Homo-oligomer: A and B are copies of this chain.
């Protein structure tokens, strides 16, 4: 699919919460947090998710034309109806542009990128804004330090266009979802299973729960499988990949990418400063890489991540 990410945007809320500040709320030490999660500090939002989304989107759109489609690729909903994309559009001052939301937990951005590439390939749209904005801090379960210490808030956006006569492309995409892992990562509220107007729900249902070792055990082989498939589809070997832009799941998860044959220097890692910002993590890392001059046109870039489901997704771009 001959598409090109023409620009990206990034927004991190101003309030920084350090591991030292968080430590007493978790009953752990600053060192414990950093060793177990790699998150030295994260941002905590005090503003609506759509305001964060719009800030990132405005940077990505720059002074270019408005998008002809807006895809909200966030886990965090503003409310159930209308879908969150509408409120992001409103913040951007758009009126009449089609929009919708894609939800695939931490892989939402990757899934949206795949869908947007196919839509552009079909000639349906020419300039698609994909935006992820997450306020996971509200759902932290301080009785579960390992997951609570991971989460941060942030937003990022990307603008996708037809590649024209450049060589930019989405070379390959792969995804798998294994529902036998559904209970490994959960937030049981937010739907009709624990409806807030019915009895039987508890505060904890609206907090994030993760069985980290279970995810790790289940994901390991499946990441290898999805990775092999996406490289095969792209006709590339591990050595052909110039840069890996992974979902920022955790410090240990990012370190484990070396096992798949990618040295640390080829892996974008912003976990220490921002934590795991759910679906926003991947485009935030992408923007950080672009800003740092690590993305050059023609480079082979691997996007890779795991999400609740358990899902694994990967995409190879020629930048």
Interface string of A185-201 (1 = CB under 8 A from B): 11111111111111001
- The CA of A109 and the CA of B195, in the complex, are separated in Å by 24
In chain B, what residue has the closest Cβ to A106? B81
Given A83-B105, A197-B203, 20 other A-B residues pairs in contact with their CB atoms under 8 A: A75-B81, A77-B190, A79-B194, A80-B187, A80-B188, A80-B191, A82-B308, A82-B311, A83-B103, A83-B309, A86-B179, A86-B311, A95-B178, A96-B177, A97-B176, A98-B313, A103-B103, A115-B115, A121-B121, A138-B195
Partner of A80, one of B82, B101, B189, B307: B189
Interface string of A84-101 (1 = CB under 8 A from B): 111101100011111111
Partner of A81, one of B124, B175, B185: B185
**B98–A176 contact, CB under 8 A?**
yes
**A122 contacts the other chain (Cβ, under 8 Å)?**
yes
A263 to chain B, nearest CB (A): 29
- The CA of A49 and the CA of B193, in the complex, are separated in Å by 9
**CB-CB under 8 A for A122 and B124, given A81-B105, A83-B103:** no
**A1–B89 contact, CB under 8 A?**
no
- The CA of A246 and the CA of B206, in the complex, are separated in Å by 36
**A23 contacts the other chain (Cβ, under 8 Å)?**
no
Interface size class of A (residues with CB under 8 A): 35 or more
A-B contact pairs, 27 of them (CB 8 A): A70-B177, A81-B105, A81-B185, A81-B308, A82-B182, A82-B307, A83-B104, A83-B308, A85-B104, A85-B177, A86-B177, A86-B308, A86-B309, A89-B179, A95-B178, A98-B175, A98-B311, A99-B309, A99-B311, A100-B102, A100-B104, A101-B104, A118-B122, A121-B122, A138-B195, A196-B206, A197-B203
- The CA of A9 and the CA of B105, in the complex, are separated in Å by 27
**A266 contacts the other chain (Cβ, under 8 Å)?**
no
